[in-house]
Amino acid sequence: MSSHVFDQAIALELQPDGTFAGHTSADYANMVGPFGGISAAQMMNAVLLHPQRLGEPVSLTINFAAALAHGTFIIDARPARTNRSTQHWVIDVRQNGETVLTGTAFTALRRDTWSVDEEPMPQCPPPNQVPIGRGPAPVEWVKQYDMRPLAGAMPTVWDGSGDNSLTQLWVRDNPPRPLDFASLTALSDVFFPRVFVRRATLVPVGTVTMTVYFHADSAQLQASGSSHLLAQARAQAFRNGYFDHTAQLWNEAGVLLATTHQVVYYKN
Amino acid sequence: MSSHVFDQAIALELQPDGTFAGHTSADYANMVGPFGGISAAQMMNAVLLHPQRLGEPVSLTINFAAALAHGTFIIDARPARTNRSTQHWVIDVRQNGETVLTGTAFTALRRDTWSVDEEPMPQCPPPNQVPIGRGPAPVEWVKQYDMRPLAGAMPTVWDGSGDNSLTQLWVRDNPPRPLDFASLTALSDVFFPRVFVRRATLVPVGTVTMTVYFHADSAQLQASGSSHLLAQARAQAFRNGYFDHTAQLWNEAGVLLATTHQVVYYKN
């Protein structure tokens, strides 16, 4: 097994009944429970490791039903329907017999077709010209990422002065690690809550659902190596306890690797 | 029961085992199988009608695992986790014992909080100043909607000349029907495939997954009445057989009611 902290965190053990056993990682701890991105990566990894998998990930939805307790969990990833070149997955993560995460995924054998990126990578200086920023909070998981904010960094003054929620940053695993579907899944949740930057106000928050669309195949991920990704997110609406965000991740060459969306609970 | 064609199409019958029985609707037929939006609305309706439901819909993800055959289906909507004010749903739709749709939903009791819309409604003429457009295809379901294209209408010449995938239209049920969660779910799938407008080329297509985030609660939907919604969609990437789109729906007053995303298969 790779000694990279990320590989240790997403390691799973196939059980005799076809489920996978995993363990929360202290290295990816968040305020309450683990970093959502590492839970999503563990879920994705159960599909990737599954002996019946057909093709590569195209989409993943994960719902955060309850905070995971520190310790072991069971991932039950089941192919609900397998077609000639596509497969639909239903995923359930349990602790002590109770569901803590639910999810669905779609994998497919992809073929070369006419292709074009419509959402261009924003113009910005290269990562080596952007200083590493302070993490969004004094929690463990942010130490596992090299984050270089370009716009909409974590506020330093909490005076309610925010007027938009756009964040752009360069980001990669720390230490560097070659990009793959599992790490891209985790990176899709790297954004601190949009409500912090929009309001410059700290309020209790928690992601309730996240969806990732993978535009890249494994060859394109491999070609991205371990270099930084440009990650961009902004909210579309904050309304009565829940806001959404819509986000994109490009590699340094400007290829759109993934688009991702989530809904986050907020108080007040 | 309402005599509106939409209510007839989403009607479900609770079975002794707690599942719901439904029937595909000839009024919402698409090229192959039903309009995806009506399947999504039927799935949403199973959650809405469920005796154990807590709160109102905040998110729904539906995965189109196989084309539904004309006839009856069973919806198994199960609350996988119920918290104090939130609930996570796992949904399975079967025909002849085989899964044809999978899904998850999140419902919650919402409270009044600080709120703001960040994505503004585009400037455009009111619906009564925009002529009704021709439907995207000679299929039944488009007759059930009043669509008034503002930008990115279905191409009339298929010459490969497209250069972007943005579509904006006014849309409502035809005949008019007061907006609710089920109809907003269906309206979230009202966009014809982005690849048609981007390429001005007809290719085989099919949605594989769709997620809807509901920003409005039932009172805000009720306040929208039966007037038109402004619906906007555009793709972010077309890559090797799959493209995504990201979309928004506002009511005439400019309130962002829902944001929605999907991945669509395309050939060539």
Q: What is the CATH number of the domain that holds B19?
A: 2.40.160.210
Give me the helices (H) in B25-111, please: 36-49
Residues in B touching A117 (Cβ below 8 Å): 236-239
Reported as a pLDDT band with limits 50, 70 and 90, residue A154 is confident
Q: Does B110 touch chain A (CB under 8 A)?
A: yes
User: B189-208 burial, b if ≥16 CB within 10 A, otherwise e?
Assistant: bbbbbbbbbbbbbeeebbbb
pLDDT confidence of residue A207: 97
Contact B115 A239 (CB under 8 A): yes
Q: Is residue B125 part of a domain?
A: no
Ranges in chain B, pLDDT < 50: none
CA A144, A150, A151, A153 dihedral sign is positive
Q: Does A54 touch chain B (CB under 8 A)?
A: no
Give me the torsion for CA of B64, B70, B74, B80, rounded to 10°. 10
Q: Does A73 touch chain B (CB under 8 A)?
A: no
Q: Report the SS3 class of residue B166.
A: coil
| pLDDT tens per residue across span B177-197 | 999 999 999 999 999 999 999
pLDDT confidence of residue B1: 56
Report the C-alpha gap between B61 and A252 in whole angstroms: 31
Q: Is the pLDDT of residue A138 over 90?
A: no
Helical (H) or strand (E) element with B223: helix B218-224
Sequence-separated (6 or more) residues with CB below 8 Å from residue B162: B155, B197, B198, B199, B200, B201
pLDDT confidence of residue B136: 60
pLDDT confidence of residue A134: 73
Q: Helix-strand-coil percent breakdown of chain B, rounded to 5?
A: 20, 40, 40
Share of chain A above pLDDT 90, in %: 92
Q: Is residue A127 part of a domain?
A: no
Q: Is residue B65 part of a domain?
A: yes
Q: Is residue A141 part of a domain?
A: yes
Q: Report the SS3 class of residue B5.
A: helix
| Alpha-carbon distance B267 to nearest alpha carbon in chain A (angstroms) | 7
| pLDDT tens per residue across span A184-225 | 999 999 999 999 999 999 999 999 999 999 999 999 999 999
- Nearest chain A residue to B117 by CA distance is A237
Decide: A186 and A207 in contact? Cβ < 8 Å: no
Mutate to test the interface with B, among A73, A244, A262, A264 (most CBs of B within 10 A): A244
Q: Is the pLDDT of residue A137 over 80?
A: no
Contact A240 B99 (CB under 8 A): no
pLDDT confidence of residue B181: 98
B47 DSSP 8-state letter:
H
What the block records as the tokens of A135 is: 């993490």
Share of chain A above pLDDT 70, in %: 99
pLDDT confidence of residue B57: 98
Q: Does A256 touch chain B (CB under 8 A)?
A: yes
Domain that holds residue A146: 5-109+132-266
Beta-ladder partners of A168: A151, A232
Give me the torsion for CA of B209, B214, B215, B219, rounded to 10°. 160
Residues in A touching B164 (Cβ below 8 Å): 118
Q: Does B96 touch chain A (CB under 8 A)?
A: no
pLDDT confidence of residue B134: 73
pLDDT confidence of residue A1: 57
| Alpha-carbon distance B176 to nearest alpha carbon in chain A (angstroms) | 27
Q: Give φ, ψ of B71 to 5 degrees.
A: 145, -160
Contact A106 B208 (CB under 8 A): yes
Q: Is residue A154 part of a domain?
A: yes
Count of structural domains within chain A: 1
Neighbours of B122 (CB within 10 A): 14
Residue B141 C-alpha from the chain's centroid:
12
- Nearest chain B residue to A248 by CA distance is B236
Model's pTM, two decimal places? 0.98
Q: Is residue B121 part of a domain?
A: no
Q: Is residue A123 part of a domain?
A: no
Name the residue among B113, B115, B240 with its Cβ closest to that of A115.
B240
Reported as a pLDDT band with limits 50, 70 and 90, residue A106 is very high
Decide: B136 and B189 in contact? Cβ < 8 Å: no
Q: Provide the number of CB pairs (under 8 Å) joining chain A to chain B.
A: 206
| Alpha-carbon distance A52 to nearest alpha carbon in chain B (angstroms) | 16
Q: Is residue B53 part of a domain?
A: yes
